[in-house]
Chains A and B, each alone.
Chain A
Amino acid sequence: MSNKVIHAIYDDEEIVLKSVKILKENNFEINEVYSPFPIHGLDHALELKETRMAITAFIYGCIGITFGGLMIYYIMISGIGKSWPMNIGGKPNFTFYHNLPSFVPIMFECTVLFAAHLMSITYFFRNKLYPGSTSKSPDPRTTDDKFLVEINADKDEDDLKKILKKSGAIEINEEKNEK
């Protein structure tokens, strides 16, 4: 980590994408790109790792279906179901598999509930958006109509500035790295 970073500000997402590609070709280290909206193809240009959200969704879904199954097993069959048996439509309530069709909606809903909520929570924490967190954006204009690329400036600073100017940055600022 260098202690100085360059903030290049752009006003068009196409130009940001192009300039990120140029910077990557010249081996500059990009810390972060701040944008008011997602830019299609930026994740590939930045060579970010593929998201593992799908895997977490699968795991959370498995947790959900297990929880739903155990819950309904306890309520209807083993625990409460034994001390307080319920006769619903004359359905057999001594075994789990005899009653399975009526348990499927509960297990299905638990799967969806767990997958959706835990995924959102994971997403927030992964992006450091827990309660009480402050904005990470160095420039409030990136929430409106400007795009900001943060680059490590430990080498070839003049070169870097030249490339940025050429690629269409409307503003180039030197900042101290606060991280």
Chain B
Amino acid sequence: MYKQNNNLKTISLIMIIIGLVSLLVAFLTDAHSAWVSLLFNNYFFMGIALFAVFFVALQHVAEAGWATIFKRIPEAIMSFLPITGLIMLVIVVAAALHLNHIYHWMEPGIMDPNAPNYDKIIAGKEAYLNIPFFLIRSFIYVTIWIYCAKKLRDISLQGDLEGGIGEKSYFKGLRVSGWFIVFFAVSSSTASWDWIMSIDTHWFSTLFGWYIFSEWATIGFATILLLTLLINKQGYLPALNDSHIHDLGKFVFAFSIVWTYMWFSQFMLIWYANIPEEVTYFMQRIEQSNYRFLFWFSLIINFLVPTILLMSRDAKRNRDRLILVCTIILIGHWINSYLLFAPGTLNDQGNLGLLEIGLGLGFVGLFLKVFFSSLSKRNIELKSHPFLDESKHLHT
């Protein structure tokens, strides 16, 4: 059983209070930017939790054994999905009720040819971008994601009680994972179109879904690796060896490069074609002085730091190095996710300031609290799993 560290408990509580205070102050001073700040922070942490579900499902369908011994860690990360999913739904419903103005295409009259603010391009997207369909989609994503996460966690617990090698619950989990991955393949793309790309309504990018997925994968692997190292440092998971760390490090390294590949593919095609409705997206980010630095800075640290610092085999087995790199790229991707939302909603008024950072800390605190309390509710060591023995002897 995992015993919660009291210091961590207090720190996460302080962080939550900081977050709540920043949220309150933000809503009292500028409600519009407060909604944006809530949305982008929530999106970032939802990505981490959602990727943990994908990670567990992926190990199932691939029948991979290497990650089995620290399987409880992504499973505990998953437990943050209901909260973030709920906040997401609150934001989306509030947008539909016009309590916030994040989604420009929701303005009344924008799709009405007789209205003064009629926009022909947006009206052309009405078949997909209309409020009822948008809400239905959002509810479907969130409920199915949460359902699958809960199901996978429950099945994993059944495996512990089953005894033997636990193959019955494993095959049950295999079925759920298969369906989840099929659903996730579609919903990760459509969710990112709905919640992020539709902010810049005129603009579109066909690889946007993969771009967001690669970002989720990077932050997801970085979080799993960081928390695994932390738990191991506290004296749990004695079977964790350098090979497990090495494999996770490889994923962080590889997905950082995949993210850059996606970033650049999107950028280069738009830069090359130079079509007005496409380039506005990058013009907003490059020409406006409040985003220019963050834009280039997040690209550089998200690409160069993992590429240079994690290139060699020894670096991926060096725990201090991995902690450093994972922390840096989590911050880098947090800045990048700010840039996904802010320029389209706040235009030149956006500013990544103390309130955003405070709310981010609040989410970190809430995340840690949920993570550790979920981890302490059950055995951190698996008892029976078909690949448990294989995972203990992982050697690369």
Contacts and interface: CB of A to CB of B under 8 A. Distances in A.
Contacts of B311: 58
B272 A89 contact: yes
A101 to B, nearest CB: 5
B264 interface: yes
Interface string A79-119: 00000000001110000000001101100000000000000
Contacts of A58: 311
Interface residues of B, number: 11
Contact of A102 (B268, B312, B313, B395): B268
B268 A104 contact: yes
Nearest to A50: B313
B67 to A, nearest CB: 19
A41 interface: yes
B395 A41 contact: yes
B271 interface: yes
B273 interface: yes
Interface string A25-48: 000000000000000110000000
Given A41-B395, A54-B312, A54-B313, A102 B272 contact: yes
B176 to A, nearest CB: 33
Contacts of B264: 101, 104
A41 B395 CA distance: 9
B267 interface: yes
A89 B273 contact: yes
Interface string B243-255: 0000000000000
B259 to A, nearest CB: 15
Nearest to A40: B395
Q: Is the interface of B mostly helix, strand, loop or mixed?
A: helix
A109 B20 CA distance: 49
Interface residues on A, range: 10 to 19
A104 B260 CA distance: 12
Interface in B218-268: 264, 267-268
Contacts of B313: 54
Given A54-B312, A54-B313, A105 B395 contact: no
Contacts of B274: 89-90
A9 B313 CA distance: 34
Contact of A105 (B268, B271, B273, B312): B268
A89 B279 CA distance: 14
Interface in B309-324: 311-313
A101 B274 CA distance: 13
Nearest to B273: A89
B307 to A, nearest CB: 12
Contacts of B271: 101
B268 A101 contact: yes
Contacts of A102: 268, 272
B272 A101 contact: yes
A84 B268 CA distance: 24
A55 to B, nearest CB: 9
A32 to B, nearest CB: 23
Contacts of A104: 264, 268
B308 to A, nearest CB: 11
Nearest to B274: A89
Interface in B352-396: 395
Contacts of B312: 54
Interface in B274-317: 274, 311-313
A105 B272 CA distance: 13
Give the top 3 A-B pairs by smallest Cβ distance, nearest first: A101-B268, A101-B271, A102-B272
Given A40-B395, A101-B264, A105-B268, 5 more contacts: A54-B312, A54-B313, A101-B267, A101-B272, A102-B272
13 contacts: A41-B395, A54-B312, A54-B313, A58-B311, A89-B272, A90-B274, A101-B267, A101-B268, A101-B271, A102-B268, A104-B264, A104-B268, A105-B268
